[in-house]
Amino acid sequence: MKVVPDTSVVIDGRVSATIEDGQFEGATISVPEAVVAELEAQANDGYETGWDGLGELKRLAELADEGVIDLEYVGDRPSAIERGHASEGEIDALIRDIAEDLGATFVTSDIVQAEVAEAKGLDVEYVSPEVREVGTLKIEGFFDDRTMSVHLKTDAVPMAKRGALGEMRYEPIADEPIDEETMDEYAREVVDGAKESSGGFIELSEPGMKIVQFRDYRIAIARPPFSDGIEVTAVRPIAQTDIEDYEHADELKERLLEHQRGVLISGSPGAGKSTFAQAVARYISDNDYSVKTMEKPRDLQVGPEITQYTELGGEMAKTADALLMVRPDYTIYDEVRKTDDFEVFADMRLAGVGMIGVVHATRAIDALQRLVGRVELGMIPQVVDTVVYIEAGEVAKVYDVKTEVKVPAGLTEEDLARPVILVTDFHTGEPEYEIYTFNRQVVTVPLVDEEGGPANESGVDRIAKQEIEREIRSIARGYVDVQLKSQDRAVVYVDEDDISSVIGKGGGRITDVENRLGIDIDVRTHDENPHYGTSASSANGGTAAGSGGGGGGGQPEGQLVQPEITSRHIVIPVDGHHGETVEVQAGGEYLFTATVSRGGEIQVSRGSAIADELERAIDQKRPITVVPS
């Protein structure tokens, strides 16, 4: 009896299992070279299926050595073109042709292959994939009631994050590092468990990385060359809360049920955003709203009445299209990170679906600012009207977001009225931020300081200084110092050589700047500045000028240099110190560290943050020095 297995049954390990059951004992197992090539390609790409299949071939070789079967490899290796069309059935066709030529029994675990082979008149043995009950994974033994995540890596001591929400500690949970063989065993057990358990599935499978959902665990497995060693990270939620457990729950519940809203749940990693999102999902689902989720990977812990969707065809936009046909009342989007995510979130919200997005942010306002530039400014309150900030597992801040046409705080002229996004504390009703367009730029202006009191210097004042300096610097060649005298008046100090350029013929140029910014500007020379060359000038929007300025109180130590600004670089000539590491300072203050080239210079590419700081120091006439580090 001759038997030709295909790739599917070799990967499943069912050929050797069937032989050991006595069905194919004494048969000649003819393995097509096409099967070997496919397994080899999968193993080289880092796929577990390839390694599983190669392991099955080794078991068949052992059975042949024991005289249980005869083993041979038949056929030719497929060409590159045939391998490229494997998904279209080219390899499967090659294997079927070999079985037909040999008059062999064709064995497969692929139901489609079995049907095609039977249609072509082959003798087919369909072996259904083995399904077994999966017990406890070895990695689960590292968890206790207080463990949120376990971190295992080859040749490293096992670590875990343990504690309560907001009070997690990253600590060792064993004394000895784990060797590569044990790590490989853990990783394979996780993947096999996900395949064989009804409570598991493989969320992502790429060369070097797999993300598995197994019961309550989300497990990421990284392998070389993607990582520098086998790494397994398992995460499990340790807290399940109800919305009533949070402060101000009654107001939030009423707000969510009033009508479909756009909500951003923000906070730092591990703060409890997903835990709160789960509580919200359960609450609105219990109150007769249809709720779905969009997740990659799917790890929210919700009831079976809430369907969890992932990417459709590799795109969340396609998932959104499908969801619009399903017509949910609310969709939980976990997590909103990239521009595409924000666009999908906005499109669904504007289509009338209630949207609750989970966003990483270190401050509540940062979550809203991530929409700026991704969504048209005037549409933001229609996309997001509520921001909830989670800190240490608690609701630390709730913002109400709406639009008003008004004069921004700090301005007085009625003709400066414009659409302003008001960000208001939901519980106190006090506005904390304004977002609007100022001189063609979108600005976020705080109305209170970090302690909650009125801001010492209004955001408008800071923006006005920046905008005035930017406008004048585009005209003047030398150092510019801006001092605001009132909300509608400023004095600009420039070099004497720049006075005529800044004012323009008949005052036309400075008048244009005044009209654009809505502020009166008085242009003077630095000699008229009573604070020129002192620290007070810096406090009023500039930096101390003059050959000895810059915070050092005298001539700084080191080699005084004269940088040259070219179209692409700032070049700093240095005498000596070739090949040495030096510090570049401005007025005695550290700017950056660099290595002097063999040609005796340091080059900094313009447009970088370092170059901007250096160029600003040069404009302010601060002495640039090079000091050996």
Q: Which of 298, 151, 176 is nearest to 230 (CA)?
A: 151
Residues 122-150 have a mean pLDDT of 83
Radius of gyration of the chain (CA): 34
pLDDT at 534: 45
Pairwise CA distance, residues 180 & 199, whole Å: 28
Total Cβ atoms within 10 A of residue 37: 21
Q: Which of 220, 227, 265, 219 is nearest to 246 (CA)?
A: 265
Backbone angles phi, psi at 494, to 5 degrees: -135, 170
Q: Which residues pair with 489 in a beta bridge?
A: 486, 520
Q: In this structure, are residues 526 and 494 in contact, taking their beta carbons and an 8 Å threshold?
A: yes
pLDDT at 110: 86
Q: Which residues pair with 263 in a beta bridge?
A: 356, 386
Pairwise CA distance, residues 254 & 273, whole Å: 20
With a cut of 60, say whether residue 615 has pLDDT above it.
yes
Tell me, what amino acid is at 157?
V
Helix (H) or strand (E) segment spanning residue 471? helix 459-473
Pairwise CA distance, residues 431 & 350, whole Å: 25
User: Three-state DSSP class for 361?
Assistant: coil
Contacts of 133 (CB under 8 A, 6+ apart): 197
Pairwise CA distance, residues 554 & 35, whole Å: 79
| Residue where the block lists tokens 């009831």 | 303
> Does 628 sit behind a cis peptide bond, omega within 30 degrees of 0 on the bond before it?
no
With a cut of 60, say whether residue 459 has pLDDT above it.
no
486-514 pLDDT, tens digit each: 767 889 888 888 898 889 888 888 898 88
Cα dist from 566 to 478, 512, 603, 606, whole Å: 16, 30, 10, 9
Tell me, what amino acid is at 168?
M
2-126: CATH topology is: Rossmann fold (3.40.50)
Side by side, the strands of the sheet bearing 262-267 are: 307-309, 291-295, 330-334, 354-360, 262-267, 386-391, 394-406, 418-425, 431-438, 441-446
Tell me, what amino acid is at 193?
G
111-121 pLDDT, tens digit each: 888 999 999 89
Residue of higher predicted confidence among 128 and 337? 337
Tell me, what amino acid is at 24?
F
pLDDT at 535: 39
Residues 523-547 have a mean pLDDT of 55
Cα dist from 373 to 223, 339, 379, 420, whole Å: 37, 9, 11, 16
Q: Which of the 8 DSSP states describes residue 157?
A: -
pLDDT at 229: 92
Pairwise CA distance, residues 222 & 243, whole Å: 36
Q: Which of 354, 348, 366, 324 is nearest to 263 (CA)?
A: 354
Tell me, what amino acid is at 476?
A
Cα dist from 77 to 41, 73, 261, 371, whole Å: 12, 10, 59, 53
Q: In this structure, are residues 10 and 98 in contact, taking their beta carbons and an 8 Å threshold?
A: no
Cα dist from 150 to 164, 202, 575, whole Å: 15, 19, 54
CATH number attached to the domain at 243-446: 3.40.50.300
With a cut of 60, say whether residue 540 has pLDDT above it.
no
pLDDT at 486: 73
Tell me, what amino acid is at 347?
D
Total Cβ atoms within 10 A of residue 176: 7
pLDDT at 168: 79
Residues 337-351 have a mean pLDDT of 92
CATH number attached to the domain at 459-539: 3.30.300.20
289-306 pLDDT, tens digit each: 999 999 887 778 888 899
Q: Do domains 2-126 and 243-446 have the same CATH topology?
A: yes
Strands 489-494 and 589-595: unpaired
What's the whole-number average pLDDT of the chain? 83
pLDDT at 553: 38
Pairwise CA distance, residues 169 & 569, whole Å: 46
- Work out the angle at residue 513's Cα, subtended by the Cα atoms of residues 511 and 519, and round it to the nearest 5 degrees: 85
Q: In this structure, are residues 492 and 459 in contact, taking their beta carbons and an 8 Å threshold?
A: no
CATH pick for 138-235 out of 3.30.450.90, 3.40.250.10, 1.10.10.10, 3.40.47.10: 3.30.450.90
Could you state, in order of their start, the residue ranges of all structural domains in the chain?
A: 2-126, 138-235, 243-446, 459-539, 559-628
